[in-house]
Amino acid sequence: MGGAVSAGEDNDELIDNLKEAQYIRTELVEQAFRAIDRADYYLEEFKDNAYKDLAWKHGNIHLSAPCIYSEVMEALDLQPGLSFLNLGSGTGYLSSMVGLILGPFGVNHGVELHSDVIEYAKQKLDFFIKTSDSFD
């Protein structure tokens, strides 16, 4: 699935394309997408594909297409303080974006079966926390 919008040159251009195609419709979802660079969740050798509206899989590591994540986030009508459970949480990309919307009083849990993917997700979350303007 995916391929519904044009590829971007960077994360912001990808989000602009998702907005233009009306996959992203609310400011909260847009802010979450802009706060987390999709390329940061790719293995280094595959980052050239990060801004395409396509799913990506390498072994147990998987990212759905950005249009799918945006549809999910818009359909859930996420608000600060709500709860979110992500079964098959994978890289943590979706859970991290949702967590930004839920805020410090929301509950955000991910369940993942593959230990290698859990470790990968932890590394990606640590990197995001260390490099993001979203945290003090």
* Phi, psi angle pair for 119, to nearest 5°: -65, -40
Is 83 catalytic? The answer is: no
Distance of CA 8 to the CA centre of its chain: 16
* Spatial CA neighbour of 34 closest among 110, 97, 95, 99: 97
Measured CA to CA, the distance from residue 71 to residue 77 in angstroms comes to 10
Which of 6, 64, 132, 134 is catalytic? The answer is 64
Measured CA to CA, the distance from residue 132 to residue 99 in angstroms comes to 13
Measured CA to CA, the distance from residue 119 to residue 48 in angstroms comes to 23
Query: Residues with catalytic annotation?
Result: 64
